[in-house]
Amino acid sequence: MTDPASNMQDALRAAGAQAAHIGDLWNGTLALCTFVFVAIVVATIVAVWCAPRADAATRPDTSSLSGPEHRIWRRIGWATAAAIAGLLVLLAGDVFTSRALARLPLRDAVDIELVGHQWWWEARYRDADVSREFTTANELTIPVGRPVIVTLRASDVIHSLWVPSLSGKKDLIPGRTATLRLRADRAGTYRGQCAEFCGLEHALMALLVHAVPPADFEAWAANQRQPAREPVDAAARRGREVFLATSCTMCHTITGTTAQARLGPDLTHLASRQTIAAGMFPNNRGHLAGWIGDPQALKPGVNMPANTLPPDDLQALLAYLETLR
């Protein structure tokens, strides 16, 4: 990771074209609104400060009821005109930003279908040649400088994709298809997180986006297109047997084996991912073991059941999963 975690998910640190456009609009809007805020607060303070003091017995000044107050009205008129002018500037800023966002060049775009699940992300890299398609989960890798079209769907409830460093958010709505177009202009890992309340573990539904140089992206994609590696050592081979003989296969896919279920994340290249459980833990043996053993303790409500494997089987399974690069 090139950035500390706190910089990976920040609307004010744009690392992509779309976020940069919105960042520019933010700066202009913030300046204008700050000016208006200060003007109104100062006007209020001056008005109250300069007015003479009185008490409840002071005779009220009712002269305004008999005739209009032209001087006051002129001032209010000017202030209102200024307010309208400021609002027009904001409207223009919004329209031009929307236009800039819509004009992101889309030639040679990477085509990703992202499906939201409670509480993880399924990503399918699509291709005109179906045999080149592949599926991964919870982490996207994209090439720097090339546009990405993310087609958004939801399998259960509404989710929302928000990677603030790269782009504004877009909802994933059951029964509807939305698209989000973005481009990373700076290499790095950016974090995103579901932004629409989606139930019990909404807080723990993160997504990492790795923006890498185009050549690295092609290498990564070529690897992802391969079926899972044949295990070479005995422990890993035994681990594959464990995987295929237990309930793992009810939900997960490992391409190149008989495990083809789609209820949980595709594990074909699990070991190539940095995190598990939708960005919750680093992907290492200890966390993986804990997760397989009792996911309900770590992320209550998640769809994966606890798996009580004999220690030998578990170690073998972990050895196998670690080969899935």
Partner 1 sequence: MTVSDPRHAQYADPADSAGAAALERTWRDPPGIVGWFSAINHKTISKRFMVTTMVFFLLGGVLALLIRLQLAQPNADIIGPDMYNQVFTMHGSTMMFLFAVPVMQAVATYLVPLMIGARSLAFPRLNAYAYWIFTMGGIMLYAAFLLNAGPDAGWFAYVPLSGPQYSPGKRVDFWAQMITFTELSGLMEAIVLITTILKLRAPGMSLNRMPLYVWAMLVTSFMVLFAMPAVMLASTALITDRLVGTHFYNPAEGGDALLWQHLFWFFGHPEVYLIFIPPLGFISAIVATFARRPVVGYPAMILALVTTAFLAFGLWVHHMFATNLPELGKTFFTAASLVIAVPSAVQIFCWIATLGSGRINFKTPLLFVLAFFFILVMGGLTGLMLASVSLDTQLHDSFFVVAHLHYVLLGGAVFPLFGAFYYWFPKFTGRLLDERLGRWNFWLFFIGFNVAFFPMHVLGLWGMPRRVYTYPAEMGWGDLNLVASLGAATIAVSVLLFLFNVARTLRHGAMAGPDPWGAGTLEWSVASPPPAGNFEVIPVVHGRYPLWQPQAEPTHVTGMSNEWREVLVTTVADAEPDHRMWLPMPSIWPFLSALATTVLFVGSIFTPWAIVWGSVPVGIAATWWFWPKRSVVQERVRTEVPP
C-alpha distance from residue 160 to each of 151, 212, 263 (Å): 12, 24, 20
Q: Using the minimum distance from each CB to partner 1, give the nearer residue, 134 or 291.
A: 291
Q: Using the minimum distance from each CB to partner 1, give the nearer residue, 98 or 223.
A: 98
Q: How far apart are alpha carbons 19 and 22 in whole angstroms?
A: 5
Q: Contact at 8 Å (CB) between 244 and 267?
A: no
Q: How far apart are alpha carbons 246 and 240 in whole angstroms?
A: 10
Stretch that binds partner 1, among 131-139, 193-201, 210-218, 219-227 (CB under 8 A): 193-201
Q: Using the minimum distance from each CB to partner 1, give the nearer residue, 127 or 171.
A: 171
Residue in the block written with tokens 């329209």: 95
- Options 4, 67, 310, 311; binder of partner 1; rule CB under 8 A: 4
Q: How far apart are alpha carbons 10 and 134 in whole angstroms?
A: 29
Fill in the per-residue mask, 75 to 114: x = in contact with partner 1 (CB under 8 A), - = not in contact: xx--xx--xx--x--xx-xxx-xx--xx------------
Q: How many residues sit close enough to partner 1 to count as binding (CB under 8 A)? A: 93
Q: Using the minimum distance from each CB to partner 1, give the nearer residue, 156 or 294.
A: 156
Q: Which of 73, 87, 113 is nearest to 33 (CA)?
A: 87
Q: How far apart are alpha carbons 242 and 255 in whole angstroms?
A: 16
> What minimum distance in Å lies between the beta carbon of 84 and partner 1?
6
- H/E/C letters for each residue in 57-72? CCCCCCHHHCCCCHHH
**Which positions from 22 through 81 interact with partner 1, judged by CB under 8 A?**
22, 25-26, 29-30, 33, 36-37, 40-41, 43-44, 46-48, 50-62, 64-65, 69, 72-73, 75-76, 79-80
Fill in the per-residue mask, 149 to 178: x = in contact with partner 1 (CB under 8 A), - = not in contact: -------xxx-x-x-xx-xxxxx-xxxxxx
Q: Is residue 294 at the binding interface for partner 1, with CB under 8 A as the rule?
A: no
- Options 213, 286, 300, 305; binder of partner 1; rule CB under 8 A: 300
Q: Using the minimum distance from each CB to partner 1, give the nearer residue, 167 or 253.
A: 167
> What minimum distance in Å lies between the beta carbon of 16 and partner 1?
12
Across 299-324, b (16+ Cβ under 10 Å) vs e yields beebebeebebeeebbbbbbbbbbbb
Compute CA 231 distance to the chain's CA centroid, rounded to the nearest angstrom. Answer: 34
